[in-house]
Structure 1
Amino acid sequence: MTELSELRAEGTNPGVVFIDDNASKTSTEKLKRFYETAVREVLSIDDAYAIISELHLDYFGLKNKRGLIGALAAASFLLLHAKKSYDYTYELIVYRRKEIWGTLRFIEDASVWAADEATYPLVWDTVDVANKKLVLVPHSPCPVLFGIRGDSVDAIYKAYELIQAEPEERKMLFITNQGTDCHLKNTEKLWDYHSYILDGVVDSNPRTIEGGHVLFSLSVQRGNESVDCIAYEPTKGFRAIIRELRIGDEVTVYGSLKESTLNLEKIELRELNLVVERTPRCNTCGRNMKSAGRSQGYRCKRCGTFSAVKDKVIVERAIETGLYEVPPVARRHISKPLVRMRMGDKIIHPSR
């Protein structure tokens, strides 16, 4: 770790923690609580030190050692995975040769598309079909050549064999919590930098704001509060779904809260509002009535006919009920793709 860490980078504070595979039941319960807190809450380095000290764990860290938080959570997850405590997936990470770190990667695009076609849906988020982009390749000058995520080790290695790329330095298969939604929680109180599943009713029609982001307000059923929900521009076609929402639609939103705004990862349209209120028409001449004044109903200026309320009209909607997701190019690694969410009678609309 000392040799390979980029210690000059301000945010690099690496750490490593060692946990015995035969940890006691008491230790396992403490590690379970730490792991769940790490992926759903905000922890300090002191929280990690407390568990390390209490359980007498071996560890090593550099600089401010904040990496010990993630290291302890990751090691705890691996231990708990062996006890079948959580959903899990795999990622095969292929590494570049050190002498070419930071240079342009060579990966034959056509071979990646062929690998995806041969292994999807057991292997997912390799490509983004709708946006015609590769997703398995990092954008940074890091040592990773590419990573293949999926539910089947055999399918992952099949995809790997089909991909034509520059010579590798090594590859490693990891057990991960990617694609599991383990970061999401149900709770009445909402806090920034936490991720939630919220049931609610749309209480403002969506609007597009500067930058191409789409925003609407949700009245949260649990907790009796309102929260803004946003589909950012990088979510591309997902925004078209959000733009079709109407006041009164019953939805479930999945996402992370930052600055009191929920960054959407998925949305379930549970019940669509098919009733629209419109200015009433005159039964005599067929023209639209005019407002007779605030809270005074509507009157036809030509015929004098009167209506106390607006007309209610049943309309068709351009969207259907079911689960929708952001495309792979915008998906957080921990967010579960819909291809992994075939749940009973729920309707899903995968991004491909």
Structure 2
Amino acid sequence: MIIGIDDTDSNEGMCTTYLGALLLEELQEYGTVEALPLLVRLNPTIPYKTRGNAAVALKLKTACPERVIAHVTSRIEELARMECEKTNPGAVFIQEKDYENLKSVLMSFLEEAVKEVIEIEKAKNLIAELGIISRSFKNGRGLIGALAACGAMLNPEGWDCTFEHLAYRQKEKWGTPRDVDKESFFEADRQTYPETWDTVDLTNRLVVCVPHSADPVLFGIRGESPEIVNKAAALIRAEPVERFTVYRTNQGTDMHLLTAQKIAEIRDMHSYRLESTVSAVPKTIEGGHVIFAVRDLEEGEIDCAAFEPTKNFRSLIRKLVPGDRVVLSGSVTTGTLNIEKIEIKALAPLYTEENPKCPECGKHMKSAGQGQGFRCKKCRTQAQSLLKIRCEAERDLEPGLYEVPPCARRHLAKPLAREKHLDIRLYPAR
């Protein structure tokens, strides 16, 4: 049996992955766990998500499915933050005899849930049409993520994957400040990067794998294999851990990105990879956000942003000039593309105006006064032209692929530490 669960947490606490970790242990009373649990991140732009928009799936060999369903339902009723308006849990149960029949349709549903906007009714109708056992609470929006997570479990080879070691706090500690040795995270990063990533942000001297909300997670280490994330986690010094679980995930895969052929097809609440040309000088607005526009061959135009949380990445964006050819990756909300990565493909020439140089000493002349040209006081030479000389300036920017720093990276965005196969120059943010 495959069990998919979603939407049990809230902005104030709880975590669907914690429920998954509990069930992973408890359900062994009814059978044998057959695979690593799955953590699937869905469309990051959905406005009614709680925090990270994650769903989980477990795979269990069992001879008593009814007892499993009852146990899972009871645990959701007990632990889900039902008082939160955005918390609308859902669980689905795929029986082993249906694995092959449902594999294709639920894998397609996963792709759609990660890249598109799905209405609750579509999930409910699919469940009814396919005869899938389900449980839902309140409006049942969690059925969307639950189905998607089952799709991932049914076809584990059909998508790129990474792994995350999630350590959970003892229950009496929930809601209190986390007691961790920050330097141990930097040491773990030194010993395991680039096979692990987003543990720390070296440039901004931040630990980024420790959440700040009241949920049960103490820390999460992301990486290429269960072995490497466990190695990094073993180096962490922190408060006692109640339990830990290694999840297989779609984090760090760019699974959310659609390819936009033209700007006119771009829609809010979707994420894209878009090749275009910078059409406006980047401007820093109130709040420290950097905004500029890009245009495609059909004269479509869209605003792009490096928001304040991207920190030093904004300095790179400020160096862009109209005419630069770029490939942008990011999510679109309220008509603006929030940049996650930028590939600079070609730089436009940048021109400046300078005073002419003295033919004797080679230094730039000074203005001789309005309408009187230029002169060199030292050599007493003059230039009768009233116009400055147009010169091509050297660009303080190199073609290549750049990313936001770890402190600003979204769960699904693929870090450059994983892009070693690309035949372009990489500038990983550390």
Q: When the two structures are superposed, what TM-score results if normalisation uses the length of structure 2? A: 0.73
Spell out, residue by residue over 1:163-197, the C-alpha distance to the aligned partner (whole angstroms, 9 max, x if none).
Answer: 11111111111111100001001133010111011
- Paired residue secondary structure (1:3): helix
1:78 maps to which of 147, 153, 156: 153
- The answer for the alignment partner of 1:260 in structure 2 is 335
Compared with structure 1, are the counterparts of its residues 88 and 311 closer, same or farther at alpha carbon in structure 2 (3 Å cutoff)? farther
Tell me the SS of whatever aligns to 1:314. strand
Residue in structure 2 matching 1:196, options 242, 260, 272: 272
Displacement of 1:12 in angstroms is: 1.0
2:109 counterpart of 1:34? yes
The one of 415, 421, 425 equivalent to 1:343 is: 421
Whether the 8 Å contact between 1:322 and 1:349 is mirrored in structure 2 is yes
For residue 116 of structure 1, report the CA deviation from its aligned partner. 1.2
2:229 aligned residue: 156
Q: Secondary structure at the match of 2:190?
A: helix
- Aligned residues of 1:102 and 1:142 also touching (Cα < 8 A): yes
SS at match of 2:121: helix
- CA drift at 1:107: 1.2
Within 5 A, what are the aligned runs for 1:97-246?
97-187=170-260, 188=262, 189-221=265-297, 224-246=299-321
1:53 aligns with 2:128: yes
Aligned pair partner of 1:18 in 93, 110, 119 = 93
Q: What is the alpha-carbon distance in structure 2 between the residues aligned to residue 170 and residue 193 of structure 1?
A: 35
Does structure 2 conserve the Cα–Cα contact (< 8 Å) formed by 1:21 and 1:79? no
Deviation string, structure 1 residues 60-108 (Cα, Å, up to 9, x no partner): 1211111111111122122222xx1111111111111112211111111
Q: Deviations over 1:116-145 (max 9, x none)?
A: 111111111011111111111111000111
| Number of positions where the alignment pairs a residue of Structure 1 with one of Structure 2 | 339
Residue 318 of structure 1 corresponds to 396
Instruction: Tell whether the 8 Å contact from 2:343 to 2:399 is kept in structure 1 after alignment.
Output: yes
Once the two structures are TM-superposed, the CA of residue 283 in structure 1 deviates from its matched residue by 11
CA offset at residue 160 of structure 1?
1.2
Q: Which residue number in structure 1 is paired with residue 33 of structure 2?
A: none
Question: SS where residue 2 of structure 1 aligns?
Answer: helix
The answer to which of 1-10 and 238-247 deviates more is 1-10
Correspondence for 1:327 among 390, 405, 425? 405
Does the Cα contact within 8 Å between 2:355 and 2:365 map onto a contact in 1?
Answer: no
CA contact (8 A) 1:282 1:305 kept: no
**What's 2:79 paired with?**
4
- Code of the residue aligned with 2:398 in structure 1: it is E
Q: Distance in 2 between matches of 1:274 and 1:174?
A: 48
Summarize deviations over 1:13-54 as a string: whole Å, max 9, x none: 111122345645553221122111111111111111122122
Residues 277/226 of structure 1: CA separation in 2 closer, same or farther (3 Å cut): farther
Aligned residue identity for 1:220? D
Of structures 1 and 2, the larger Rg is shown by 2
Deviates more, 1:228-237 or 1:69-78: 69-78
| Contact in 1 for aligned 2:352/2:392 (Cα 8 Å) | no
Distance, in Å, in 2 between the alignment partners of 1:53 and 1:19 is 13
Specify the SS of the correspondent of 1:113.
Answer: helix
Task: Give aligned-pair identity as a percent.
Answer: 45
Unaligned 5+ runs, structure 2? 1-75, 374-382
1:343 Cα deviation after fit = 3.1
- TM-score w.r.t. the length of structure 1 is 0.89
Once the 2 structures are TM-superposed, how far is the Cα of residue 263 of structure 1 from its aligned partner? 0.5
Q: In the alignment, is the contact (CA less than 8 A) between 1:78 and 1:175 conserved in 2?
A: no
The alpha-carbon distance between structure 1 residues 143 and 227, as it changes in their structure 2 partners (threshold 3 A), is: same
1: CA distance between counterparts of 2:333 and 2:293? 15
Aligned-pair Cα RMSD in Å? 2.6
Partner of 2:13: none
In structure 1, how many angstroms separate the alpha carbons of the residues matched to 2:96 and 2:237?
37
Unmatched 5+ stretches in structure 1: 289-299
